[in-house]
Amino acid sequence: MTRVDERSSRLSLAYVLVAFAAFGLAAIFGALQGMDRGGVITMPSWLTYYQILTAHGVLMALVFTTFFIVGFLFSGIARTNGGSLTPAARRLGWTGFWMMLAGTLMGVVTILTNQASVLYTFYAPMKASPWFYVGAALLVVGSWVAGWGMFACYRAWRRAHPGQHSPLFMFAAVATMILWQICSVGVAAEVVLQLIPWAFGWVDTVNVVLSRTLFWLFGHPLVYFWLLPAYITWYVVMPKIIGGKVFSDAITRMVFVIFVVLSSPIGFHHQLMEPGIDEKWKFLHVALTLSIAIPSMITAFTMFATFETAGRAKGAKGLFGWFRHLPFRDARFFSMFLAMVWFVPAGIGGIINASNQLNAVVHNTIWVTGHFHLTVGTTVALTFFSVSYWLIPHLTGRKLTPVLNDLGKLQGFLWSIGMLFMSGSMHTLGLLGGPRRTAGTTYMNDPTALSWLPWHKLTAIGGGILLVAAMLQIAIVFYLTFKAPKGEEEYPIGEVAEEAEATPAILERWRVWVPVAVVLILVAYGYPIFEMIQNPPPGAPGIKTW
Amino acid sequence: MHIHRYEKIWLLVGGVIVVSFIVALFVNAFAMGMHPPSHMQTIDPKQVDATPPFDKPGVHKVGDNEYEAVMTAFVFGFNPPQIEVPAGSKVTFISTSKDVVHGFEIPGTNVNMMVEPGHVNKVTQTFNKPGEYLILCNEYCGAGHHMMMGKVIVK
């Protein structure tokens, strides 16, 4: 059994623990915010609703996800690289870690001193402290440096194994980081070229439509950056846990390549209701967005195929007999399975949001909040929780005990019930027109807004259950890190089925796929961005409105 | 690369569904004109009150049962805060922001647009049922975001 060596373990563990610290803090902010909105508590004057909303969003969506993903991918690369990272990879990994941590602290301090209540989308011309933007830039650039460490390890492996396909986990991790580095050029350009000079007062005004376009050039691929590590778990780790085989190496690689190519040129679907972008360009992005449902449909097929072949190998009979052979008693599988189930309504919601005409009904309503609490908040988060149940003991040289296994299943169950209430009522509220990112209000007792109140209460109940589940997860992480009995916990990596077809070499040629992705971005964004710079709207001066 | 026969069927069905979604959206958009609000006109956010049509905010009759509602958005309200139109009228809302980004949404209708400094945006809606319609800001704009509202009274 290949173990991740101690030095690589320490690096991965550092990332994962920062991720869960951010998660715990963010969960408390989320619960406070829900209780304030539901009228259960009133925020003190030094801590406002929008301040904790910003803290919740930044810590969950940016800090928890990015730190966890980088730590997880490093561990998997070490595991498939014979148990260790190359010294160069480790050095870059630690450099990235300290940059990301410094950026996070700058962000948290500016938010908690109320200098940056601009939410994690920081829409100009709301003007936060320049140090908030510097912190955001450090977080992103730090993750690039960590990614370069992964690329270095991948290159070393390829040099040492000429003519062979890289290990599937390593390949998928590299794909995820390539996607991330391509797309975050957009937000880096926004922050470095537009927001930082403007926030320091070196320029007076900001081109609002350009800043939003650069943000969403990054903002949608960002969700695939969250999703792909979950997909890695499903494709590569899950088969081993259920006692089966990876269905197809080639299909797995193809899915990741499609995501790298197609995830960036689709950001306008976040800007469908905006002026300053021609409807024909919006439509191009809508069509491309819908086509990215294809790799997720391939994933659905592959998951069922993996379940079924594993079940049949164990002697399952009938059309659905394999279902009973799935290890639902194993927390590592149970939470992951729930994550997959939740991805079905989450994906359908995504297709609705991306459709330019349906979007008029749900745009900026709390439906959208409900949607991403299903995608990143449930599908991705539950998968990461399931990973933590084996990854943390593996890294710390401890064991997941049967009691902890049961608590893990309870966590997954509570999380799902909480989300059922919270996300379900958010979706309903959104269809009724309830806005997102809005403190408790009845709009001066407007009858429409008053009719929403029962749904707000249900949202708050769901949020309460989620807080309990979040604290349980933090307790599990703490126990697995410091208290669990010493032992060996397996790092599950599935093997490819013998009958799977050979993988075409083209799927590993990043020299082909990266240029294809860049060309598609230039086609989808080149002319609109050229127009926004060539014929800019009159600039908007910055303003602090909180 | 060999692809399993069942997977081919699955992908064919899924692909046909996706393509039919795109075709339906295309026909709605380009044959029936159902485009999302995408107005291209620019405006200086510092000069909104002096720039037509925003120098005269309010409801203007432009045809039989047709109105233009010129409404500026700012922290934390709309000007005018309330408009009145007769039942059955087709109203085009024309708006821009004097400061940060705002939303302009009327729950229960398809009126939903972004109002951004530097740009004018427009959306059209026919009000058949008399009553009071809430206008709200659905894009976070600051400490008073949840107070930002307006009304359409349909008589």
Residue among A123, A283, A436 minimizing CB distance to B138? A436
Q: Which of A4, A399, A57 is nearest to A222 (CA)?
A: A57
User: In this structure, are residues A91 and A145 in contact, taking their beta carbons and an 8 Å threshold?
Assistant: no
Report the alpha-carbon distance of residue A238 to residue A217 in Å, rounded: 32
Interface of A with B in 255-294 (CB under 8 A): 271-279, 282-283, 286-287, 290-291, 293-294
Contacts with B136 from chain A: Cβ below 8 Å = 433, 435, 443, 449
Q: Which residue of A has its CA nearest to B10?
A: A301
pTM of model > 0.90: yes
pLDDT 10s per residue in chain A (546 long)? Answer: 789 999 999 999 999 999 999 999 999 999 998 888 877 778 888 889 999 999 999 999 999 999 999 999 999 999 999 999 999 999 999 999 999 999 999 999 999 999 999 999 999 999 999 999 999 999 999 999 999 999 999 999 999 999 899 999 999 999 999 999 999 999 999 999 999 999 999 999 999 999 999 999 999 999 999 999 999 999 999 999 999 999 999 999 999 999 999 999 999 999 999 999 999 999 999 999 999 999 999 999 999 999 999 999 999 988 899 999 999 999 999 999 999 999 999 999 999 999 999 999 999 999 999 999 999 999 999 999 999 999 999 999 999 999 999 999 999 999 999 999 999 999 999 999 999 999 999 999 999 999 999 999 999 999 999 999 999 999 999 999 999 999 999 999 999 988 777 889 899 999 999 999 999 999 999 999 999 999 999 999 999 999
Structure tokens at A117: 């209540």
Please give the pLDDT value at position B112. 97
DSSP alpha helix (H) spans, A190-322? 196-199, 208-219, 221-232, 238-241, 249-262, 279-291, 293-313
Contacts with A444 from chain B: Cβ below 8 Å = 149
β-pairing, B121-127 vs B131-136, is unpaired
User: In this structure, are residues A281 and A268 in contact, taking their beta carbons and an 8 Å threshold?
Assistant: yes
Please give the pLDDT value at position A499. 79
How near does any CA of chain A get to the CA of B62, in Å?
Answer: 23
Residues forming beta bridges with residue B74, ordered by sequence position = B77
pLDDT in tens, B26-69: 999 999 988 999 999 999 999 999 999 999 999 999 999 999 99
Q: Which residue of B has its CA nearest to A117?
A: B142
Catalytic (active-site) positions of B? 74, 76
Residue type, A236: V
Is the CB of residue A327 less than 8 Å away from at least one CB of chain B? no
Give A481's contacts (C-beta < 8 A, 6+ positions apart): A13, A17, A392, A396
Phi and psi at residue B78, in whole multiples of 5°? -120, 150
Structure tokens at A484: 């669990």
Residue with tokens 């396909």: A165
Interchain CB distance below 8 Å, B36 and A447 = no
Please give the pLDDT value at position A485. 97
Q: Residue B99, Cβ neighbours under 10 Å: how many?
A: 22
User: In this structure, are residues A490 and A394 in contact, taking their beta carbons and an 8 Å threshold?
Assistant: yes
DSSP assignments along B100-128, one per residue: S-EEEE-TTSS-EEEE-TTB-EEEEEEE-
Please give the pLDDT value at position A45. 83
Report the alpha-carbon distance of residue A142 to residue A469 in Å, rounded: 30
SS3 B151: strand
Q: Which residue of A has its CA nearest to B122?
A: A275
Residue type, B29: A
User: In this structure, are residues A182 and A221 in contact, taking their beta carbons and an 8 Å threshold?
Assistant: yes
Contacts with B117 from chain A: Cβ below 8 Å = 125, 208, 537, 540
Interchain CB distance below 8 Å, A364 and B29 = no
Interface of A with B in 100-139 (CB under 8 A): 117, 119, 123, 125-126
Report the alpha-carbon distance of residue A151 to residue A145 in Å, rounded: 10
Interchain CB distance below 8 Å, A441 and B4 = no
Whole-complex ipTM: 0.96
> Residue B1 pLDDT > 80, yes or no?
no
Is the CB of residue A406 less than 8 Å away from at least one CB of chain B? no
Interchain CB distance below 8 Å, B118 and A541 = no
Residue among A119, A279, A443 minimizing CB distance to B134? A443
SS3 A123: coil
Structure tokens at A402: 């049967």
User: In this structure, are residues A542 and A206 in contact, taking their beta carbons and an 8 Å threshold?
Assistant: yes
Residue with tokens 């997860």: A473
Q: What is the largest CA-CA distance in chain A?
A: 71
Interchain CB distance below 8 Å, A290 and B43 = no
Three-state secondary structure of A266-288: CHHHHCCCCCCCCHHHHHHHHHH
Interchain CB distance below 8 Å, B14 and A297 = yes
Residue with tokens 């990143």: A376
Residue among A209, A274, A360 minimizing CB distance to B110? A360
Please give the pLDDT value at position A56. 97
How near does any CA of chain B get to the CA of A274, in Å?
Answer: 5
Q: How many helical (H) and strand (E) elements, i.e. helices and strands, does chain A have?
A: 21, 2
Q: Which of A169, A222, A227 is nearest to A382 (CA)?
A: A227
Is the CB of residue A540 less than 8 Å away from at least one CB of chain B? yes
Residue among B7, B118, B137 minimizing CB distance to A301? B7
Contacts with A438 from chain B: Cβ below 8 Å = 138, 140, 145-146
User: In this structure, are residues A146 and A97 in contact, taking their beta carbons and an 8 Å threshold?
Assistant: yes
How near does any CA of chain B get to the CA of A255, in Å?
Answer: 13
Residue among B7, B41, B143 minimizing CB distance to A50? B143
Please give the pLDDT value at position B42. 96
Q: Which residue of B has its CA nearest to A207?
A: B118
> Which among B27, B44, B146 is the top mutation candidate for probing chain A, defined by the most A β-carbons within 10 Å of its own β-carbon?
B146
Residues forming beta bridges with residue B151, ordered by sequence position = B82, B134
Q: Work out the angle at residue A190's Cα, subtended by the Cα atoms of residues A189 and A191, and round it to the nearest 5 degrees.
A: 95
Interchain CB distance below 8 Å, B119 and A209 = yes
Q: A with B: how many residue pairs have Cβ under 8 Å apart?
A: 215
Residue among A208, A356, A359 minimizing CB distance to B118? A208
Structure tokens at A179: 């996607």
> pLDDT confidence of B141, banded at 50, 70, 90?
very high
Report the alpha-carbon distance of residue B133 to residue B117 in Å, rounded: 25
Contacts with B39 from chain A: Cβ below 8 Å = 275-276
Residue among B4, B39, B103 minimizing CB distance to A364? B103
- Specify the DSSP class assigned to residue B63: E
Residue among B10, B40, B108 minimizing CB distance to A297? B10
Contacts with B50 from chain A: Cβ below 8 Å = none
Catalytic (active-site) positions of A? 220, 224, 371-373, 436-437
Interchain CB distance below 8 Å, A448 and B134 = yes
Is the CB of residue A531 less than 8 Å away from at least one CB of chain B? no
How near does any CA of chain B get to the CA of A251, in Å?
Answer: 8
